[in-house]
Amino acid sequence: MAKVYLTRRIPDKALTLLQKENIEFEFNPKDEPPSEASLKREITNVDGLICLLTEKITPGIIEAGKKLRVIANIAVGFDNIDVRKATEKGIYVTNTPGVLTETTADLAWSLLMATARRISEAERYVRAGKWKIQWNLMFMTGQDIYGKTLGILGLGRIGQAVARRSKGFNMRILYYDENRTPELESELEAEYADMETVLRESDFITVHVPLTEKTRNFIGEKQLNLMKKTAILVNTSRGPVVDEDALYEALKEGKIAGAGLDVFKIEPIQMSNPLLTLDNIVLLPHIGSASAETRTKMAVIAVENAIATLKGKVPPNLANPEVLKVRPPTLR
């Protein structure tokens, strides 16, 4: 009987699928990531690992999984997994793309709007009992969104969903992506531009690239200097894609107007992070895909990916297809 280890309890709807397939499972009962030592211990004898993005699946952990055939990440991003090592060992790595696209696009828009209209700052003001004058002409004035230019960096699934939502706001859409997709340009009424033009001309810039060695510090001092003084940056991808020190300086010096971040270089954010001292930033605890429906579906998809692999099939969301050459999907 195949056996799977889950690094957290997941909804019963997903666990039931394992039961139906007679796959034995065990999960970390704590609501926090297991330590590296305990993860190494737990996976020595299992065929599959179902984990979250909080688990750093290092070469050492992969080596410890002597029988491991699949690592099913409950996330679209899989930069937490040493994919090269997994591939080398013939281990399938899977993710959960698609299902969280709309939910994450909603959050990118929530951040964009909250930053433009100073929602968090205004709410803090009310709760702190500072609202003493009923209405003042220039009080808490933010920025309009309607009719402005939206710059999308990375026009993948989520970037496209963000673009679709901009229709009601009558925006000009600029995008930059490593790969230009002319078909999408007409559908989304989006203009392709080089990165510099997107940075220079956009009022709102939203980042939707995966974290890779190429995209680390994708937005740094140079890029922030190109942006308009009135521009707002939104990041719902991965923290290290933005150079936080450069962003802090830019926000503090008024080189850009604001930022909305759901992701950080170090998560959870350290209380010593200077970004916390700024008012022109909205900070969220990595909740891009956090609707109950979507998170449940993500767990189900991860389980389905694990089951498919353990049944000797190519899983629907194989993130390292090159592994098929190392280990074809045959039954053991």
- Binding segment for ligand GLV (CB under 6 A), chosen from 25-33, 74-82, 168-176, 277-285, is 74-82
Contact string (CB under 6 A) for ligand GLV, positions 37-56, x = contact: ----------------x---
Active-site residue, selected from the candidate residues 69, 118, 208, 238? 238
Residues 259-288 that bind ligand GLV (CB under 6 A): 288
Nearest residue (CB) to ligand GLV, 112 versus 231: 112
Strand partners, 6: 27, 50
C-beta closer to ligand GLV: residue 77 or 142: 77
- Mapping DSSP to helix (H, G, I), strand (E, B) and coil, where does residue 128 land? coil
Sheet holding 70-73, edge to edge: 24-27, 3-6, 48-51, 70-73, 92-94
Cis status of the peptide bond prior to 210, with omega within 30 of 0 = no
Alpha carbons 57 and 276: distance in angstroms, whole number: 29
Q: Closer to ligand GLV at the Cβ: 90 or 239?
A: 239
The pair of structure tokens assigned to 15 is 């666990």
Q: What helix, strand, coil percent values describe the chain, rounded to 5?
A: 40, 15, 45
Contact (CB, 8 A) for 169 and 146: yes
Q: Give yes or no for residue 209 binding ligand GLV (CB under 6 A).
A: no
What part of residues 140-179 is at the interface with ligand GLV (CB under 6 A)? none
CA dihedral 111, 113, 116, 122 (to 10 degrees): -90
Q: Is 75 in the site for ligand GLV (CB under 6 A)?
A: yes
CB of 288 to ligand GLV, least distance (A): 5
Does residue 268 have a cis peptide bond before it, meaning omega lies within 30 degrees of 0? yes
Number of residues that bind ligand GLV (CB under 6 A): 7
Please say which residue, 148 or 208, places its beta carbon nearer to ligand GLV: 208
Among 28, 160, 223, 289, binds ligand GLV (CB under 6 A): 289
Give yes or no: 267 in active site.
yes
Asked if 80 is part of the footprint of ligand GLV (rule: CB under 6 A), the reply reads no
* Amino acid code (one letter) for 259: A
Rounded Cα–Cα distance for residues 4 and 309 (Å): 12
The answer to the question of residue 76 lying near ligand GLV (CB under 6 A) is yes
CA separation for the pair 57, 190 (Å, rounded): 38
Q: Is residue 100 within the footprint of ligand GLV (CB under 6 A)?
A: yes
What residue ranges bind ligand GLV (CB under 6 A)?
53, 75-77, 100, 288-289
Catalytic residues: 238, 267, 286
